[in-house]
Amino acid sequence: MAKRKMKYVCQECGYESAKWMGKCPGCNNWNTLVEEMEASPASSRHTMTRDAKTKHQPESITAVETQKEPRMTTSMEEFNRVLGGGIVPGSLALIGGDPGIGKSTLLLQISAQLADKHLPVLYISGEESVRQTKLRADRLGVTSDLLYVLSETNLLDIVNQIEQIKPSLVVIDSIQTIYREEISSAPGSVSQVRESTSELMRVAKSNGIPIFIVGHVTKEGAIAGPRMLEHMVDAVLYFEGERHHTYRIVRSVKNRFGSTHEMGIFEMKEEGLREVMNPSEIFLEERSQGAAGSTVVASMEGTRPILVEIQALISPTSFGNPRRMATGIDTNRVPLLMAVLEKRVGLMLQNQDAYIKVAGGVKLDEPAIDLAVAVSIASSFRNQPTKPEDIVIGEVGLTGEVRRVARFEQRVQEAAKLGFKRVICPEKNLEGWRPPESIEVLGVNTVQEALEEGLER
């Protein structure tokens, strides 16, 4: 029998080396290489050659027959939207989030909803016992007989139970606790996570059973384990939010069966998570009237428009270098917009500290919020409040021009639905379109024009 060799594997990126190194060449992290034993070699080469004739043969893509499989829908429309309309049979989805954020609660609620529709569900917990899962189920009011609970970490036993029960949905909580006996490394290592996910993917595709796996996150907020883990699965969902606040956000960053960057908003209650059907009202319900530095913008999250408040606080600096801090938007965008205001509008901001925040804990990353951020900064610097019934939309260029944005009609309709009276937007977005009668749409070409119209005198 051939001697099995040892190797060193980075626990952050999966880089493999024959010798130990203090710094990983793949991700440049220190002290992340851990000694592991290589897996036993596969069967002999002549066996692979013999079985090659029995494999599937290439087909012309025009000859392949397709059929649209019905999706399984839960009672949470927000969760269905994030997945692109429901759960696809045979799909493998990865859900990541901070500890205690509510991942297990969300998946147990979804499992119970499918079980109430007479669909058998297998919930496998590697971190909690069956009694602990039962306590959470009692708190959430789960009473279905078709929800099966299993506390197991051995992958072989898990696969046997899946093939025996043939459930409509499988939940693995979490993938870092699952191990394969033929791999000598500890559960949670790169080799264990990679091989366990690969086996679960095979089970999902061959049996047509959707599987949700929970993944731990690192201190930077990324899903722990090799980056290849996110490439293997069909969908990657991030569960975001502060543990000390009641609102949670499920964000889709990868989805082979739907739109990416979709977002679902939930509220954490004592009896579990409750979906928020109109998040714009939630984000604007505590807005201060007549306060300088506050502007409302219509942002697109996937296919849904959401109205959020952008707040700015500009104050004289006490240090040699003024501070530029931002929460909810890209920090590098703040000094860029302040430079445009200095050069094109004439605001002396070089000796001012700037603090920008998106109220409600939402993260915005589209260029359509540039004009709202610029108006908020100018409003706080001049101490002139914005008009409370205005919505500001637009991308700002380095020459001070306001550029058109995508899906403008949906943003305006959302603003009109919530009772706003005026929209300040790029002039180019008004071509070939008639706004609703209940709202006035004002087109501007430069940041200077937007400040003249948006700030109260």
Residue ranges for the known binding site for ATP are: 97-104
Task: Give the CA-trace dihedral at 345, 349, 353, 354, to 10 degrees.
Answer: 10
- DSSP at 43: S
30's tokens: 């220190």
**Nearest in space to 450 (alpha carbons), one of 359, 346, 357, 376:** 376
Q: What is the DSSP string of 417-443?
A: HTT--EEEEEGGGGTT----TTSEEEE
**The two structure tokens encoding residue 391:** 């919505």
What's the rounded Cα separation, in Å, for the pair 137 and 112?
9
Query: Which residue, among 299, 294, 297, 325, has the nearest Cα to 311 in the 3D structure?
Result: 294
Sign of the C-alpha dihedral, residues 14, 18, 20, 26? negative
Identity of the residue numbered 295: T
Q: How far apart are CA 72 and CA 347, in angstroms?
A: 55
Residue 253, both tokens: 């960053």
CA distance 161 to 445: 64
Instruction: Find, among 287, 317, 295, 267, the residue nearest to 371 by Cα.
Output: 295
Whole-angstrom Cα distance, residue 189 to residue 181? Answer: 13
- What is the Cα Rg of the chain in Å? 26
Residue carrying the six token digits 């500001």: 392
Measured distance CA(245)–CA(325) in Å, rounded: 22
In the chain, the amino acid numbered 183 is I
Q: What is the DSSP letter of 169?
A: E
Helices 130-140 & 103-116 angle (0-180, nearest 10): 70
DSSP assignment string, 363-412: ---SGGGHHHHHHHHHHHHHT-PBPTTEEE--EE-TTSBEE--SSHHHHH
